[in-house]
Chain A
Amino acid sequence: MKLLSLIPVIAIGVLLLWAGQDFPKWGDVESPASKSPVSSHFIANTGVDTEVPNMVTAVLADYRGFDTMFETVVVFIAGMAVIAILRGSSIGRPRRKDHEVEAEPDLIVTNTVRLIVPVIQIFAFYVLAHGHVSPGGGFQGGVLMGASFILIALSWDLEKAMSRFPIERCLVVAAMGIVLYGGIGLLSMMLGGEFLDYAELEKILPVSREMARYHAMLGVEIGVGFTVAAIMFVLYANLASEGRLKEGL
């Protein structure tokens, strides 16, 4: 079986390496991907269209806003599916005790976490809000925020983290993120543009068309951050406790 599966693996490897000779060189400025009009357009026009210095954020939230919206929906659906699969699956099943150590949360660990969790959360907000001018954005900030709750759950127990961020609130926050994203899209549609055409928001914001896109992108990123943060914690809470949502690892 293992030898048999080695055959396609080696065949694919040889094919890929053979094809690799035709690929552009490392750092090639004239490579097809870099020479394509799409990416050149993004680099040349992001500043003109949106005034966002970070092209990645602009392409993510504006030019490819539709894609990002449904990526967020995929994250949301994955969280829902994990809850649907694991909730109630271990009712009446005795909890495995063989690898468990009964101990109080460690003093040093909990105090360190007490110190660094606020810093992580503020940094998450910074990464989220400063994503326009530095590397960052909704996904990164959301993951950081979710990680801070996971850290609490790891150093105390799951109940402690759940008391800060109960699963019901997680779901509300996750859904709110999607609604915020879609709402900004719908709002720009109602103002006469297309779906997710943020420039139309200038009619209700006291800014230029470019800055309307700038600020709408921030709103969209906040929506993404909400969903990602909540779903990251939902994933951890469910997987660590086999859907019991208590005790945890």
Chain B
Amino acid sequence: MEGGSLVSELFIERLNYCIYVILLLIGLWAMLAKRNLVKKLIGMSIFQTAIILFYVSIAVKKDATIPIYLAEHDPHGSHAKVATEENATENQVAYNPVELKPETVKGYANPLPHVLMLTAIVVGVATLGLALALTQRIYQGYGTIEEDELLDKLDRADERASQSPIIKEKRNAQRRKSTQRAKAKAAAGSVTKSNMAAKPSAVTKGKKKAQPKKSPSKTSATKAKPKPKS
């Protein structure tokens, strides 16, 4: 009994909400789960359609007509014409339309959601065009619109960028500083040991120790490393 009432409440009397929720979920899922950027945009469009359906469906009134005046309520319709013919000379003054009564208002669908969605549709097309342009630009730049491939390429591009001359120079300077520090440390150690002959080995040791600290465990670091003086 309880379930039956729920079904009639939700799926018969409010079918429009079910349809809009389903469309909305399809769009949301496409935006979240799909890796292809164009598929994501299709999801966005479906999402938008769901919202438009929702708005338009709440504008519906039972037994109401579209929000355009019927002839009997139309200020330009038969009423108005009679009024102007009767007072042909002073029609501007005599023509005095009255606002609709609440009973008649109920006979017209709600115009406001229609207005909102009218602009939303066109703006949606424009923004979709903008999104497609961005996607096209991404394709031109990276040769793919698959998100995971794109991320891979971006990572690789980052790596390449980290080998740019400026960053290389910075890293070299840092490395030089730390080798000097290591040298100084090694020198101090050798002094305590009072073994001058062991100095070169101490230096290499210090270098070896300092190396993993400086180089961020990347293959590029070995390339960028200053060559040991021979």
Contact = CB atoms under 8 A, between A and B. Distances in A.
Of the candidates B14, B59, B64, the one having the most CB atoms from chain A within 10 angstroms of its own CB is B14
Given A85-B133, A89-B137, A53 B29 contact: no
Contacts of B77: 53
Contact of B68 (A13, A33, A133): A133
Interface in A58-109: 59-60, 64, 67-68, 71, 74-75, 78-79, 81-82, 85-86, 89-90, 93
A86 B136 contact: yes
Interface residues of B, number: 66
A56 B115 contact: yes
A164 interface: no
Interface stretch (B118-126, B155-163, B178-186, B221-229): B118-126
Contact of A17 (B18, B32, B69): B18
B222 to A, nearest CB: 34
Contacts of B136: 86, 89, 239, 242-243
Interface string B12-53: 011111100110110011001100000000000000000000
A248 to B, nearest CB: 14
B61 A34 contact: yes
Interface residues of chain B: helix, strand, loop or mixed (majority): helix
A26 B14 contact: yes
Nearest to A68: B119
Interface in B112-163: 112-115, 118-119, 121-123, 125-127, 129-130, 132-134, 136-137, 140
A33 to B, nearest CB: 5
A28 B13 CA distance: 10
Interface of A: 1-2, 5-6, 8-10, 12-13, 16-17, 20-21, 23-29, 31, 33-34, 38-40, 42-48, 51, 53-56, 59-60, 64, 67-68, 71, 74-75, 78-79, 81-82, 85-86, 89-90, 93, 133-135, 137, 139-140, 142-143, 208, 210, 228, 231-232, 235, 238-239, 242-243
Interface of B: 6, 9-10, 13-18, 21-22, 24-25, 28-29, 32-33, 57-62, 64, 66-69, 73-77, 92, 97-102, 104-106, 108, 110-115, 118-119, 121-123, 125-127, 129-130, 132-134, 136-137, 140
